[in-house]
Amino acid sequence: MSRNDSKYFSTTKKGEIPELKEELNSQYKDKRKDAVKKVIAAMTVGKDVSSLFTDVVNCMQTENLELKKLVYLYLINYAKSQPDLAILAVNTFVKDSQDPNPLIRALAVRTMGCIRVDKITEYLCDPLQRCLKDDDPYVRKTAAICVAKLYDINAELVEDRGFLESLKDLISDNNPMVVANAVAALAEIQENSTRPIFEITVPTLSKLLTALNECTEWGQVFILDALSRYKAADAREAENIVERVTPRLQHANCAVVLSAVKMILQQMELITSTDVVRNLFKKMAPPLVTLLSAEPEIQYVALRNINLIVQRRPTILAHEIKVFFCKYNDPIYVKMEKLEIMIKLASDRNIDQVLLEFKEYATEVDVDFVRKAVRAIGRCAIKLERAAERCISVLLELIKIKVNYVVQEAIIVIKDIFRRYPNTYESIIATLCENLDTLDEPEAKASMIWIIGEYAERIDNADELLESFLESFPEEPAQVQLQLLTATVKLFLKKPTEGPQQMIQVVLNNATVETDNPDLRDRAYIYWRLLSTDPEAAKDVVLAEKPVITDDSNQLEPSLLDELLANIATLSSVYHKPPEAFVTRVLSSAQRTEEDDPEGSETGYFESSANPANGVTSPPAARQSTPASTISAPATPPSAALVPDLLGDLIGMDSNSIVPLDQPATPTGPPLPILVPASTGQGLQISAQLIRRDGQIFYSLLFENTTQVPLDGFMIQFNKNTFGLAAAGALQVAQIQPGTSARTLLPMVTFQNMSQGPPSSLLQIAVKNNQQPVQYFNDKFSLHVFFSEDGRMERSSFLETWRSLPDSNEVSKDFPTIVLSTAEATLDRLAASNMFFIAKRKNANQDVFYFSAKLPRGIPFLTELTTAIGNPGVKCAIKTPNPEMSSLFFEAVETLLMG
């Protein structure tokens, strides 16, 4: 459409479809053309114009190329929803594929390839076969891409009709664009195939290198990517290939440059001559530097790729470090990447100018960038031993600025420097201790506490410094508490005087009795046992020599780095992740055909659980708090198998992802409510209830077979629901003989299949077996099943959270008939469902109890229960960030209080 065609998008008339139908069947060519433009405009803005399919197809018989393109565009969009009508266009496609005009021939075969309808596929073969051998190169290059599209629809057909051989023949074509498209098509087919299809041989290599010089820029990218997978036979061949590819480094398109760099790096692994490698480094550096003068988005992509390159070949850009100095107007994401590369390129030769840059960055206004710059100084100190003293001098200068976040970040990196160079730079500890009052971040506090504990014997007032931190021990984050515990033990072992002895008693008592953090409590018990039984063994454990930390600037594993370098100029090199980590491979048509149910029966909705899929990990189970009087190792999680989800879209559900299956626990428990009586379940009675056990949610099911035949092959599916509850795998139910029953626990996962709209406790469920049709039924869950084991809050935290929530988030409800006989029984019943008692107070003649509970994803519910023990009437008030959940919460509380 031209610029003047915007008028077709502005119509607001009613009854437009009948008018368009009339115009499409007009005897005037211009009127028909205008009508098709209006249809395309309506289609573009989302209107359904599929009812005009036949009328639009009738306009295909035209010599007007623009009109033909518009009709083909319409066909591509609607052919899948109208496959039977799409066949009406086949004769025109076949006729157009033999048109004298090469543009029309190419357009016809391209459109047929884009119409992904199986019924049309068989008609495409003959025109495609002709177009692959067409006299015009434009038609041949279009047909080459069409083969890849056809392979995705029907791989077996492509192989049977010899299209793969025709594609390979096109690599010898005299037109470079045809060669490039043939390479692109073969590469795409190879991606979707498990067997070798596209292998570059020596004759093929020569043809690709010849075509490389005459291709368009994207054709060059396709060929270079294909060549990067070629393994040269020896160093001489590798040098010859690199020599032919090197001119591509001067290309204006950055994609071509990066693809050439990738290809050269791959071949350099075989080149043994140091002179050749050195010359290649000189040739590769300027193009990489040039990429940094492009717009910020391209800079970022280039920097992410350069980050990988310098980890393998740092000498390429060793003399170009100045180009990575940050400019004032660089976006923050570019600055951060430049910092990473500067750390990797820092050496004894350039460290002075690098430190000057870092010091300047540490005075900028962007806090995140400043922190990164300060941390970069510390990483340089760890990387370069001879420059460590200069790095520390710069850090001390920054500390003197007295900017809070700079000081804290400096202390964090100095702790790492102490680990890297023990007993070398301890003279600066006094300067660090002057800044204790400014520390308010957990990592900085933990670092300073580590320093005090590690060098307690050299700090005269180490006990006073640690004592200042101990005053707020219960409120500190876990990271700080763990360091305080260890530092106090170190102080006691190094200075076993009265002051440290009292401190260690206080700390151990807090860490074992007052806390609910199992890691802290376990470590405290271990220290307590060591100190009380064998102080010398405690010294050997706590004061043992620590391993020296190493430079982490090249943090990628060699094997991962190899894979990422092989994927330079792709998303993989930007994410720094292998492709399989973020790309889900779609099954090719050949694989799909093998897995389809040949019978086409109702069981076609189900897949066998005998072929587990790979690539999904089981969600971590919630860890239950360890009682304060015991020390126990965390339980080993059950092994998980992976099975396909089963019921597909059988009842309008779209949860057909692959989910993990935990081994089912032994099914036990009280009687379950009957959800499907035998009278309505055709002899199958289903009882079920959602339960929580050991931090895991299960669906407990009881199947009773009152029919005359054995029942097996049980499968289950949950519809979308408020918490996204879904089965964590298939039902593990053995065959149920007539007159017998079977009980099972089905592990559940949350947030897999979430519904929109207001929260609801309703579950819609479908169950099927091999002998009976699907049984649909509803179940209602109680919200307390979702209360997590880590919902207990400290009193101070409870108060702070209550005050921080607005009054509008407070909701209350009266339960006038409920009577609480004893407070102790109520507290025990609520605690068993993870509603934790916080505090109690008197209000006139009533008791007021406070509880905390937590839903998945950390949603707290703060509860106030007011009642007169032994008398009817309970008032429940809650505060939560999600007040829309209050009705479900009140239902759960009512259920729990009634016992």
Give mean pLDDT, residues 681-701: 90
Cβ pair 109, 146 in contact under 8 A: yes
pLDDT digits (tens, 9 = 90+) for 759-817: 888 899 999 998 888 888 999 888 889 898 888 888 888 888 888 888 888 899 998 88
- What is the reported pLDDT for 339? 93
Angle formed by the axes of helices 29-44 and 65-78, to 10°?
Answer: 40
- What is the reported pLDDT for 306? 92
pLDDT digits (tens, 9 = 90+) for 75-108: 888 877 777 777 777 787 788 888 888 888 888 8
- What is the reported pLDDT for 499? 75
Is the pLDDT higher at 623 or at 686? Answer: 686
pLDDT digits (tens, 9 = 90+) for 176-216: 899 999 999 998 888 877 778 888 888 888 888 888 888 88
* pLDDT band at residue 631 using 50, 70 and 90 as cut-offs: very low
> Distance (Å, rounded) from C-alpha 849 to C-alpha 851?
7
Is the pLDDT higher at 379 or at 42? Answer: 379
Eight-state DSSP code of residue 636: P
Give mean pLDDT, residues 151-165: 85
Among 35-44, 170-179, 243-252, 587-596, the minimum mean pLDDT is found in 587-596
Closest CA to 346 of 375, 370, 322, 374: 322
- What is the reported pLDDT for 11? 53
* 792 CB-near residues (< 8 Å, 6+ apart): 516, 625, 836, 852
Burial (CB count within 10 angstroms: exposed 0-12, middle 13-18, buried 19+), residue 686: buried
Give mean pLDDT, residues 11-30: 72
Give mean pLDDT, residues 114-119: 76
> Distance (Å, rounded) from C-alpha 102 to C-alpha 166?
19
- What is the reported pLDDT for 66? 83
Give mean pLDDT, residues 842-856: 87
Give mean pLDDT, residues 478-504: 86
CA distances from residue 308 to 64, 303, 475, 562, 783 in whole angstroms, order as listed: 52, 9, 42, 9, 49
- Phi and psi for 698 in degrees, rounded to 5? -125, 155
pLDDT digits (tens, 9 = 90+) for 309-345: 998 888 888 888 899 999 888 999 999 999 999 999 9
| Number of DSSP helices (H) and strands (E) in the chain, helices first | 36, 15
- What is the reported pLDDT for 829? 86
**Rg of the Cα atoms in the chain:** 36
Q: Which CATH superfamily is domain 6-243 in?
A: Leucine-rich Repeat Variant (1.25.10.10)
Residue 479 has pLDDT above 50, yes or no: yes
Determine what percent of the chain is predicted with pLDDT higher than 90: 18
- Residue 859 pairs in a beta bridge with 855
Among 124-133, 582-591, 699-708, the minimum mean pLDDT is found in 582-591
pLDDT digits (tens, 9 = 90+) for 400-436: 888 888 998 999 999 899 888 888 888 888 888 887 8
Residue 655 has pLDDT above 50, yes or no: no
> CA-based angle 375:377:383, to the nearest 5?
105
Dihedral angle sign, alpha carbons of residues 772, 774, 778, 784: positive
Give mean pLDDT, residues 847-872: 88
Cβ pair 148, 189 in contact under 8 A: yes
CB atoms within 10 A of CB 722: 21
Closest CA to 187 of 212, 224, 162: 224
Give mean pLDDT, residues 564-576: 89
- Residue 676 pairs in a beta bridge with 686
Give mean pLDDT, residues 371-379: 92
Give mean pLDDT, residues 855-868: 87
Give mean pLDDT, residues 566-573: 89
Give mean pLDDT, residues 238-256: 89
> Distance (Å, rounded) from C-alpha 450 to C-alpha 448?
5
Cβ pair 763, 725 in contact under 8 A: yes
- What is the reported pLDDT for 740? 92
Give mean pLDDT, residues 841-848: 85
Give mean pLDDT, residues 732-738: 89
Residue 382 has pLDDT above 80, yes or no: yes
CATH placement of domain 786-898: 3.30.310.10
Question: Which CATH class for the 674-781 domain?
Answer: mainly beta
**742 Cα distance to chain centroid:** 39
Q: Which helix (H) or strand (E) holds 349?
A: none
Q: What is the token pair recorded at 833?
A: 């469902």
Give mean pLDDT, residues 721-733: 86
Give mean pLDDT, residues 36-52: 83
* pLDDT band at residue 679 using 50, 70 and 90 as cut-offs: confident
Looking at every residue in the chain, the average pLDDT score rounds to 82
Cβ pair 135, 178 in contact under 8 A: no
